[in-house]
Amino acid sequence: MSLLVPGENADAAPMPVAPARLFDALVESSPHAIALYALRTGIIDYVNLGMVALTGLSRASLVGARMRDLLTEVQPAGTGYCDGRLNGQYGLALPTGRHRTIEVRTELIALAGGHYGQMIAWDVTAQAGIQRELAYRATHDGLTGLANEAAALAYLSSSLRHLRGDRARSVAVIYLDLNGFKRINDTYGHQVGDEILARAAARLDAVTRTGDLAARLHGDEFVVVCTVLNTIHAAHIVDRIRSTLREPYEVGGTQLRAPASIGVAVAVDPAVNAEALMRCADQRMYTDKRHAMRIA
């Protein structure tokens, strides 16, 4: 293969280009970011112009740096750092403070100085953002931002599996329903009803401890999945939730109330089924609701 030198007559025989020089030119001008680094140390020996553009760093800053120091926030989709090779998706911090998500593939190269990795990377920030958004929507309620029913059941199942190795703790399901919500929704309209749901969810999330999960199931029904020491501990959490949801909501100058009926089920047997535990808490919530209606 040969290239035509500018200024030459098109009819003249083209000047041959050495394969090594041609390869260097192709790598240097590749639209993908390319880096060559030592597998043993991770130190970068070479970067092309694409790598300079992708990272926002100069060639002098990149050569001699450690490859792993550039890649922060390893993404869950990444397949890790295997035998010095980087493969998968990673977060890349830019000098501007912004972050990109990059897809990385590494091939092994044996040279006289040892074994190297030839890394090819490309920017997938937009695609990764779409994937994260889709994953979020699949596991969260669109109105309140809380986890949805599918996520709550998955979390409960996981918590029950972990419970089998911890006899000192139990898993509690706290199921709740907002009393008077239908009346508010019918009287003031769906916009006010949605605001009550969103604000109730925010209150519920605020009293949920780190490591526990608050979720909206459907309508005005919510659930909290939490780890407790015993039933007394669960009762204290229920009291805290009941107290915060008892407070009125001020909407357009009007005080609206939607206190919660609550049912709680504590998994004493770690082999209990997640759906069965959820149903038990649901039934107890309706018992609490009937009791509240008799008092009212």
- What's the whole-number mean pLDDT along residues 87-101? 86
Among the residue ranges 1-10, 32-41, 157-166, 283-292, the one predicted with the least confidence is 1-10
Please, which pLDDT band fits residue 68 given cuts at 50, 70 and 90? confident
- In the chain, where are the structural domains located? 31-129, 140-295
CATH code for the structural domain at 140-295: 3.30.70.270
Whole-model pTM: value is: 0.67
- What's the whole-number mean pLDDT along residues 223-238? 93
Tokens of 168: 């000192």
Please name the fold of domain 31-129: Beta-Lactamase (3.30.450)
Residue 41 in contact with residue 66, Cβ under 8 Å? yes
> Using CA atoms, how far apart are residues 24 and 30, in angstroms rounded to an integer?
10
Does the structure show a pLDDT above 60 at 88? yes
Does the structure show a pLDDT above 90 at 163? no
Catalytic annotation on 212?
Answer: no
Does the structure show a pLDDT above 60 at 79? no
Task: Find the length of the chain.
Answer: 296
Interval 252-261: pLDDT, tens? 889 999 999 9
Label residue 227 exposed, middle or buried (CB < 10 Å: 0-12, 13-18, 19+).
Answer: middle
Closest among 241, 239, 257 to 249, alpha carbons compared? 257
Among the residue ranges 20-29, 73-82, 220-229, 269-278, the one predicted with the least confidence is 73-82
Closest among 262, 222, 256, 227 to 242, alpha carbons compared? 262
Q: Which of 141, 177, 212, 220 is catalytic?
A: 220
Tokens of 217: 């199931």
